[in-house]
């Protein structure tokens, strides 16, 4: 959605590597209104268009697609793409309708570009799982390529929303990674105990307000009672008005 940073640069790098020299890499930048619930930060979401364009140019992008909302959506639009098995938990529970917006716009972009592959980051793990399901169920002949989360020096996952954090919030936000790593590396197997450990660590940051801490199956995204190899430990935490997400794979 723009405000490009080094994590987007890694997505572009992987896309170029995947495409090779004989294919093209396209980047779409679109602040999608369907992904924002009422009263959220749609209007103030950063849109540094010139900086993003220069970022793409330096990264060697062949095509930059930057449509307006009126170009992407008719005023009387009445067709949406909705996934109903993976999208009702975690982010979907906290942000109703969010993934309908994601699936609708990504389906439209797939129809416009007809790519061979599409690259997404693992930071938004639920989104990645849902788009894989959409590609499977709608018979898109598109490979979904996952890229590991890119992080700042203190472990905070790169995100355009990090710019919303004031200096003290930014200082404390690194607690997310510091909470996830010990839980993954501990000998704990009980989901309850793992969640308690992560929550306790996060709450050592005075400005942190937990939305959720969850241990789920990586394929179904349903809560599990015991840690296993194919699992995801996911968190969503507010620092002030800024909501950050992170995860670590089992």
User: What is the biggest distance separating any 2 CA atoms in the chain, rounded to whole angstroms?
Assistant: 54
DSSP string, 175-198: HHHHHHHHHHHSS--BHHHHHHHH
Pairwise CA distance, residues 198 & 213, whole Å: 7
Catalytic residue check, 8? yes
DSSP-H helix ranges across 20-97:
49-59, 69-72, 91-94
Helix, strand, or coil here: 57? helix
Q: Which of the residues 7, 8, 107, 159 is marked catalytic?
A: 8
Residue 186 backbone phi and psi in degrees, to 5: -75, 170
| Nearest one of 194, 197, 179, 187 to 244, comparing CA atoms | 179
How far is 61 from 13, CA to CA, in rounded Å? 9
Q: What angle do CA 241, 181, 165 make, to 5 degrees?
A: 20
Active-site residue list? 8
């Amino acid at each position: 959605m723009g405000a490009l940073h080094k994590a987007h640069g890694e997505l572009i790098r992987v896309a170029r590597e995947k495409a090779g020299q004989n294919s093209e890499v396209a980047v779409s930048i679109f602040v999608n209104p369907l992904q924002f619930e009422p009263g959220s930060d749609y209007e103030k979401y950063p849109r540094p268009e010139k900086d993003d364009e220069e970022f793409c140019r330096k990264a060697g992008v062949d095509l930059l697609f930057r449509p307006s909302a009126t170009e992407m959506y008719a005023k009387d639009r009445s067709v949406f793409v909705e996934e109903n098995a993976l999208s009702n938990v975690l982010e979907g529970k906290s942000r109703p309708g969010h993934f309908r917006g994601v699936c609708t716009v990504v389906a439209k972009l797939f129809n416009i570009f007809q790519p061979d592959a599409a690259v997404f980051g693992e930071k938004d793990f639920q989104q990645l799982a849902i788009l894989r399901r959409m590609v499977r169920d709608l018979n898109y002949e598109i490979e979904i390529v996952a890229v590991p989360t890119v992080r700042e020096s203190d472990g905070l996952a790169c995100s355009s929303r990090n710019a919303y954090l004031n200096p003290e919030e930014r200082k404390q936000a690194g607690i997310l990674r510091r909470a996830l790593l010990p839980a993954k590396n501990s000998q704990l197997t009980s989901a309850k105990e793992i969640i308690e450990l992560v929550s306790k660590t996060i709450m050592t940051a005075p400005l942190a307000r937990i939305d959720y801490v969850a241990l789920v199956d990586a394929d179904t995204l349903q809560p599990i009672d015991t840690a296993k190899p194919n699992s995801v430990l996911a968190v969503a935490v507010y620092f002030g008005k800024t909501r950050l997400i992170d995860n670590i794979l089992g």
